[in-house]
């Protein structure tokens, strides 16, 4: 009886910790190409996310590759907290037509991004996990009455992804994993088409919950070499919401289809000696899925015109085990933005960027551990532009952007052995 109560209490505690991520899951800025969120691991942050799809013995890798859960012995929880600090300043702004003349200002919004993970090793080969993340997000906001207000003043996308994961260790060389779950997404966009009536917005709101899955494998051909391949499925959302058109405040019911892209991540971890490990990674995201989404029911004939191309990201990093408690990290990366020049506007002034990162992990005790990662993103200058065919208004500007990201996580090892290792056999009595 004591054993049963202990295990039940542990499961409730793990579930409660995971639930914290649900209530804190609003996202206002994306820095993983278009509006993807890569900040899912403080350990990965410290190496520019190199090698995150390969087994590292750390729980947060399951976001990219569910098979990596088989590298986490016993029962463990991990909570990660990231703070993204973007800056997007405009210069050489030109307008035509009936556009307001105010300065849009710094349109980038800082964001707090949490995430939570839990895993249980049931037997020597079977592992179960649960995660709460925010894979997608966007947040830009121009000053009221700015030169771009006719097209966009505020743009927000928020997401929460909850997933149950199963990992199975086939052999010492091969592990497989799959995750099943659902993703919630919420979209809000508004604009002020007429500078003569700045209090009358055109606003679109919509949300949806749809299923998705992850799958992956981890291969260890020789001791010290880990290769991982992870897949995150597309998510087919049908947004149900409302449209508000000036000059009235009447709401119209609208719907729109919005598909979040699938992602493939490849990771490599190569141990050089007892202290040093080289990491490498490559990520491809099928952003070209997202073209133009008509707003069904819109009285203004509105559509979400995105027309992205595929995005990719490559990274290289290293880990150095200073001693049994402290591990140091550093990494670099380069990302090719999926946003095309012909469709880049102030809602998302995204461009190619280079990553430079550093971080560390420290095991405070055998149970508690902390991780820290910092990245600076050098974003290429971009030209943003948009027009309104109904009013004839247009703007064009040059955007200069940069991003700083800080991530920290807290790990706790509840149990170091499989859940049923050494349990007494069940005796059935009738």
Could you report the per-residue pLDDT of 281-334, keeping only the tens digit for each?
999 999 998 888 889 998 888 888 888 899 999 999 999 999 999 999 999 999
Confidence of residue 410 (pLDDT cuts 50, 70, 90): very high
Confidence of residue 88 (pLDDT cuts 50, 70, 90): confident
Q: Which domains does the chain have, with CATH numbers?
A: 2-415 (2.40.160.60)
Confidence of residue 144 (pLDDT cuts 50, 70, 90): confident
pLDDT at 23 over 70: no
The C-alpha atoms of residue 96 and residue 310 are separated, in whole angstroms, by: 32
Kindly report which listed range (30-34, 193-197, 264-268) carries the lowest average pLDDT score. 30-34
- How many residues are listed for the chain in this entry? 430
**What tokens appear for 146 in the block?**
């700015």
**What pairing do the DSSP bridges indicate for beta strands 353-363 and 368-379?**
antiparallel
pLDDT at 22 over 80: no
| C-alpha R_g of the chain | 23
Confidence of residue 6 (pLDDT cuts 50, 70, 90): very low
Please state, in angstroms and as integers, the Cα–Cα distance from residue 113 to each residue in 41, 84, 127, 315, following that order: 11, 8, 27, 22
Confidence of residue 92 (pLDDT cuts 50, 70, 90): confident
Output the pTM of the full model: 0.88
Backbone φ and ψ for 61, nearest 5 degrees, come out as: -65, -20
pLDDT at 424 over 60: no
Across 69-85, average pLDDT: 95
Those residues with Cβ within 8 angstroms of residue 273's Cβ, 6 or more apart along the chain or in another chain = none
- Cβ distance 86 to 110 under 8 Å? yes
**What tokens appear for 420 in the block?**
């049923």
**pLDDT attached to residue 403:** 93
Output 35 or 25, whichever has higher pLDDT.
Answer: 35
- Cβ distance 144 to 198 under 8 Å? yes
Mind listing the pLDDT tens digit for each residue in 228-238?
999 999 999 99
Q: What percent of the chain has pLDDT over 70?
A: 89
Confidence of residue 30 (pLDDT cuts 50, 70, 90): very low
Chain mean pLDDT for the chain: 86
pLDDT at 239 over 50: yes
pLDDT at 115 over 50: yes
Q: What are 161's strand-pairing partners?
A: 133, 183
Question: Which candidate, 249, 248, 209, 215, places its Cα nearest to that of 231?
Answer: 215
Confidence of residue 429 (pLDDT cuts 50, 70, 90): very low
The C-alpha atoms of residue 342 and residue 345 are separated, in whole angstroms, by: 9
Kindly report which listed range (1-5, 62-66, 191-195, 315-319) carries the lowest average pLDDT score. 1-5
Please state, in angstroms and as integers, the Cα–Cα distance from residue 88 to each residue in 11, 109, 409, 419, following that order: 44, 9, 28, 49
pLDDT at 24 over 60: no
Across 210-216, average pLDDT: 98
**pLDDT attached to residue 33:** 61
Q: Terminus-to-terminus CA distance in the chain, angstroms?
A: 18
Across 19-44, average pLDDT: 62
**pLDDT attached to residue 31:** 52
Residue 383 CB burial class (10 angstroms; 0-12, 13-18, ≥19): middle
**pLDDT attached to residue 198:** 63
pLDDT at 209 over 90: yes
Output 275 or 33, whichever has higher pLDDT.
Answer: 275
Output 358 or 29, whichever has higher pLDDT.
Answer: 358
Backbone φ and ψ for 71, nearest 5 degrees, come out as: -90, 0
């Amino acid at each position: 009886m004591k054993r049963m109560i202990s295990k039940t209490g542990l499961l409730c505690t793990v579930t409660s910790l995971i639930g914290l991520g649900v209530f804190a899951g609003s996202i206002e800025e994306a820095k993983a190409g278009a509006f993807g969120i890569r900040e899912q691991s403080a350990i990965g942050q410290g190496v520019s996310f190199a090698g995150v799809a390969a087994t590292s013995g750390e729980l947060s890798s399951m976001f990219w590759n569910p098979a990596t859960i088989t590298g986490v012995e016993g029962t463990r929880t991990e909570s990660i907290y990231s703070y993204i600090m973007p800056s997007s300043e405009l210069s050489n702004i030109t307008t035509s037509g009936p556009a307001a003349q105010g300065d849009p200002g710094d349109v980038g919004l800082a964001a707090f991004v949490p995430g939570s993970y839990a895993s249980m090793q049931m037997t020597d080969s079977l592992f179960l996990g649960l995660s709460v993340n925010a894979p997608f997000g966007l947040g830009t906001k121009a000053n009221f009455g700015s030169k771009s207000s006719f097209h966009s003043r505020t743009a927000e996308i928020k997401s929460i992804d909850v997933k149950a994961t199963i990992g199975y260790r086939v052999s010492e060389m091969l592990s497989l994993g799959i995750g099943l779950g659902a993703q919630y997404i919420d979209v809000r966009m508004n604009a002020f088409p007429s500078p003569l009536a700045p209090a009358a917005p055109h606003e679109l709101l919509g949300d949806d919950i749809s299923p998705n899955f992850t799958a992956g494998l981890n291969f260890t051909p020789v001791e010290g070499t880990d290769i991982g391949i992870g897949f995150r499925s597309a998510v087919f959302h049908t947004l149900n919401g409302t449209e508000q058109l000036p000059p009235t405040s009447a709401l119209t019911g609208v719907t729109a289809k919005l598909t979040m892209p699938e992602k493939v991540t490849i990771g490599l971890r190569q141990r050089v000696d007892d202290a040093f490990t080289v990491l490498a990674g490559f990520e491809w995201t099928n952003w070209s899925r997202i073209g133009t989404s008509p707003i069904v029911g819109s009285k203004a004939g509105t559509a979400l015109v995105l027309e992205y191309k595929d995005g990719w990201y490559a990274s290289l990093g290293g880990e150095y085990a200073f001693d049994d408690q402290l591990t140091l990290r550093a990494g670099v990366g380069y990302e090719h933005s999926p946003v095309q020049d012909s469709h880049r506007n102030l809602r998302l002034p995204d461009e190619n960027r280079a990553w430079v990162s550093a971080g560390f992990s420290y095991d405070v005790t055998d149970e508690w551990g902390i991780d820290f990662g910092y990245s600076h993103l050098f974003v290429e200058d971009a030209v943003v532009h948009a027009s309104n065919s109904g009013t004839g208004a247009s703007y064009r500007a040059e955007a200069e952007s940069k991003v700083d990201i800080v991530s920290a996580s807290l790990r706790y090892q509840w149990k170091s052995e499989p859940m049923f290792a050494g349990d007494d056999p069940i005796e059935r009595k009738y």
